[in-house]
Amino acid sequence: GQSLEQPSEVTAVEGAIVQINCTYQTSGFYGLSWYQQHDGGAPTFLSYNALDGLEETGRFSSFLSRSDSYGYLLLQELQMKDSASYFCALNTGFQKLVFGTGTRLLVSP
């Protein structure tokens, strides 16, 4: 099967940069996705890495290293509204997604 590990909680201050790590175990996958979920809300798609390297989307970047079974989400210029839970997810085939348990990010003034 597949498993993904993320830190349960990360704290940071406004304007800072924070990195949320995701390590995984799998026999094969197509790519690694990242989702954001605010309390009481639905997950929203942030980023996807099919290949090794960095993908940048505005203040958010995501990185994948298949050889290290590791990825991360980088959030820059943190804002209060970035306080949310962040999930990494393995795309293991077509619509088959396996999610990590999530990282709660707390941004303070």
Partner 1 sequence: EAQVTQNPRYLITVTGKKLTVTCSQNMNHEYMSWYRQDPGLGLRQIYYSMNVEVTDKGDVPEGYKVSRKEKRNFPLILESPSPNQTSLYFCASRGQGEETQYFGPGTRLLVL
| Interface residue list for partner 1 (CB under 8 A) | 31, 33, 35, 41-45, 48, 87, 89, 91, 94-102
Select 10 or 98, whichever has its Cβ closest to partner 1.
98
Adjacency order of strands within the sheet including 18-25: 3-5, 18-25, 70-75, 60-65, 53-57
47/39 Cα distance (integer angstroms): 20
Select 16 or 54, whichever has its Cβ closest to partner 1.
54
Select 25 or 108, whichever has its Cβ closest to partner 1.
25
